[in-house]
Structure 1
């Protein structure tokens, strides 16, 4: 009996450890994808950018002059990344946040330049064991602009309703004072 209990506890411990390792490895894999993007832009490294993006990824923004939606294929973006990257122009990069569930992830990053920055929302999907950026939606903003919004609290709409018992039809106890 003691051996069975010991084996069961050991099995539970292994399951907990494997879940923790998997969660950590997902975090690391997503950060690797985002860091390939950030380092690729920072250093002008097309190989790192190609590792970060899915070949069919699209980049979208609003043209600040015309107000029209502009789509940039990822191949064009990579080919026009400045030699030496934004680092040669005094630029820097920063991972602001990321989140994921299942095979999808979202990261918010900043690409800072001298007097402005781009804030990118990167949508990622998991292909096998690798995460790839499939969409980059970006805005050019002032340096002091902050990402706004909050996390939404879990909805109570999907929680089962707990029935409360009604006291309307309950028989009074003989000694309840009524």
Structure 2
């Protein structure tokens, strides 16, 4: 009887370790992708950047001179990375936040330069066991620029009224099949 209790306790302990390692492994895999990007930009390391990005990834922003959407293929971005990266000009990088569910993830990072910074929103997808950046949407801002919105670190404003009831409509029902909705 005593041996079966010990075996049961040991089994539960091992099972709990398995679940916690699984969750940690997913977080670590995402951080590996993000760190490949940040270290690649910081040091001008094309190999690290190639590990971070999916080969068909796009870098997108608005051209401030023309007001048009600007798409940069990842291969062009990597090939124009300055030798020594941004650290050679006093630049630095920072992971601000990341989140994920299933096979998709989003990270917000900051690339600081002397008098300005870029804030990047990195969309990632999981391919096998590896996470890859499939899109970088970026914005240049001054050094004092702050993130806004629900993902930013801001104090919430208390509400005084109860939330309104939402009437269900069959027009907004999500299909049962996983069709990308």
Same fold (TM > 0.5): yes
The whole-number CA distance in structure 1 between the counterparts of 2:16 and 2:107 is 27
Match of 2:92 in 1: 92
SS in structure 2 of the partner of residue 110 of structure 1? strand
Match of 1:37 in 2: 37
Match of 1:19 in 2: 19
Match of 1:6 in 2: 6
| TM-score in terms of structure 1 length | 0.81
Match of 1:101 in 2: 101
Match of 1:63 in 2: 63
The whole-number CA distance in structure 2 between the counterparts of 1:12 and 1:146 is 45
Match of 2:171 in 1: none
| TM-score in terms of structure 2 length | 0.80
Count of residues in Structure 1 that have an aligned counterpart in Structure 2: 153
Q: Which protein has the larger Cα radius of gyration, Structure 1 or Structure 2?
A: 1
The whole-number CA distance in structure 2 between the counterparts of 1:126 and 1:2 is 45
Gaps of 5+ in 1: 152-156, 158-178
1:133 paired to 2:139: no
Match of 2:174 in 1: none
Q: How does 1:153-172 map to 2 (within 5 A)?
A: none
1:110 paired to 2:103: no
SS in structure 2 of the partner of residue 23 of structure 1? helix
Across the aligned residues of Structure 1 and Structure 2, the Cα RMSD in angstroms comes to 1.7
Q: Per-residue deviation at 1:127?
A: 1.1
Q: Per-residue deviation at 1:139?
A: 0.3
Match of 2:76 in 1: 76
Q: Per-residue deviation at 1:2?
A: 4.1
Gaps of 5+ in 2: 152-164, 166-181
- The superposition leaves residues 96-123 of structure 1 with CA deviations (integer Å, 9 ceiling, x where unpaired) of 1111111111110000011100000001
